[in-house]
Amino acid sequence: MNSLLRPALSLFVLLTAITGVVYPLAVTGVAQAVFPSQAAGSLVYDAKGQAVGSALIGQSFTESRYFWSRPSATSPRPVDPSNSAGSNQGPLNPALVDAVKGRIAALRDADPANTAPVPVDLVTTSASGFDPEISVAAAYYQAARVARARGMSVEDVRGFIGRRTIDRLFGLLGEPRVNVLALNRDLDATAHR
Q: What is the pLDDT along the chain (193 residues), one digit of tens a residue?
A: 778 888 899 999 999 999 999 999 999 999 989 988 877 777 888 878 888 788 888 788 888 899 998 887 765 545 555 566 666 777 888 888 898 899 999 999 999 999 999 999 898 887 777 788 999 999 999 999 999 999 999 999 999 999 999 999 888 898 999 999 999 999 988 864 4
Instruction: For residue 164, report the phi and psi dihedrals to the nearest 5 degrees.
Output: -100, 5
Q: Look up the pTM and report it.
A: 0.76
Query: Residue 106, SS3?
Result: helix
Residue 30, classified by CB atoms within 10 Å of its CB into exposed (0-12), middle (13-18) or buried (19+), is exposed
Determine contact, residues 193/186, Cβ cutoff 8 Å: no
Q: Which residues contact 148 (CB under 8 A, 6 or more apart)?
A: 64
Give the model's pLDDT for residue 71.
85
What whole-number distance in Å separates Cα of residue 193 and Cα of residue 191? 6
Q: Is 63 helix (H, G, I), strand (E, B) or coil?
A: coil
